[in-house]
Amino acid sequence: MKGLMLIVILALLLSPVISNIHAVQEKEIKVAIYFSNVKRFAQEVEETIDYSWTKNGVKYVIKPHIISKKEIINGSIFSYDVFIIPGSGRHYFDAMNKKWRDNVIKFVESGGGYVGICGGANLASLGFNERLSPNSVLNLSVLKIANIYVNDQQDEEWQYLWKSNWRHGGPPINVYIVKNDVPIFDGFYGGYRSIRYWGGPGMYEGDAKDEKMGEIIPLAIYAEEPMEVAPLHYWKWKNGEWIPYRNVTTDIKGQYAAIATTYGDGRLVLFGPHPERKTYFDGHVEEFPVRPNMGPFTWFIYNWVSNNSSSISYNWWILRRSVAWVAGLSKEEMPYASQTAAYIEEPRYGVYFNGRKIIYSQKNIVIGRFSIKGKTIDADEALLYVDGELVYKGKGDVMMDVKLQRGKHIIRLIAINENEEAGNKMEVISL
């Protein structure tokens, strides 16, 4: 009996040691994603980096949060590790607030990470190195935390934004991956990557003397010219019809499409194109009038037309690794270059009546019964939660008919494989 008691006591004493051997240490990266006027831009980045991965016994968890102008100004930004500014022109006007600029600059200088996409890259730069132009007013709000100038003209590159038919525009542009000491593109050096383009900058070396600014490290170079991949035109009404009278010209081929640098104790990664969006491997541009029956009282926009698209998460690893690097992680700690993802397809940005989407909306509004449709990519298991309650566990894509009580609800889909976990959440308003 005494021998048995001794075994039990030893087992109890050793059990914490044994459990600790198998315990996984967790490191959290808190990410603030900026929302100014179109929340969808921030949400698209949020679902890209809602992700965790395990390496060498450590679980790294990216926790994305969407924040507003008010939270930048009141100092809430300082409770995060990384700040991301998605593509938008509205940020320039927010950044004209000196307190906004000062807090973002101080955040990076004191060790915070910064990731800028398209307009977010422009904002971090020295601005537009040009004489008086439509861009001159935008130079009033740039942060000057990266020693680069941006080539992004209103009547040239910006036309791929202004003329875009929303998410149906954005031609795929190949970029060349430059060999460098930043591990974001490790394993892809010397190759090409297709990334969607919506009028973002070509970047080139600046001439600032600020000692806080670090070396510019090219990550990717534009290998194609947007005007050659997707020719656009200016149109005019003549003799009762619309005719193209001038080409849209771009000149960013050979300039930086992505760079890494430092400012003070902080790290930055800037992108001209949009790695958060799926891309295409062929196709063509199609220009058309918005209101074809209104004669001269219309304007022309464009689509990119192709049936050969990538998965939604084809380039998401680029942003995940960028977040990890600017947060201070090493090469050995980088996320996997995988497409593992969870993606809720429906309900998504619309008003649904008995399961049918009847109109586009920034909010998800459902009336009556509806279907939750979700994809899991490169995953072994799918978990679906509604208001924190597990309602489905299985493999592959998810399809479930539900009816919710009136009010706000949170739907969350999680994709899991051996070393990764990716999530996607959607707020739904049930009427």
- Which tens digits make up the pLDDT trace of 127-142? 988 777 777 778 888 9
State phi, psi for 365 to the nearest 5 degrees: -120, 125
**Residue 382, number of CB atoms within 10 A of its CB:** 20
Query: In CATH terms, is domain 25-339 a member of 3.40.50.2020?
Result: no
Domain 344-430 homologous superfamily, CATH: Immunoglobulins (2.60.40.10)
Could you state, in order of their start, the residue ranges of all structural domains in the chain? 25-339, 344-430
Calculate what percentage of the chain has a pLDDT beyond 70. Answer: 95
Please count the CA atoms within 13 angstroms of the CA of 83 that sit on its side-chain side. Answer: 33
pLDDT of 431 higher than 50: yes
Task: Using the predicted structure, report yes or no on whether residue 7 has a pLDDT greater than 60.
Answer: no
Provide the mean pLDDT of the chain: 91
Once rounded to an integer, what is the mean pLDDT over residues 59-74?
96
Across residues 26-35, what is the average pLDDT? 96
Amino acid 16: pLDDT: 46
Identify which has the larger pLDDT, 186 or 36.
Answer: 186
Could you tell me the CA-to-CA distances from 155 to 51, 247, 259, 370 in Å, in that order? 38, 10, 24, 44
Identify the pLDDT of residue 23.
Answer: 53
Looking at residue 129, its pLDDT comes to 85
Instruction: Give 215-246 pLDDT, tens digit per residue.
Output: 999 999 999 999 999 999 999 999 989 999 99
Q: What span, in angstroms and rounded, lies between the C-alpha atoms of 283 and 114? A: 33
Mean pLDDT of 4-25: 46
Task: Please choose, from the candidates 193, 216, 328, the residue with its C-alpha nearest in 3D space to the C-alpha of residue 270.
Answer: 216
Q: What is the pTM of this model?
A: 0.91
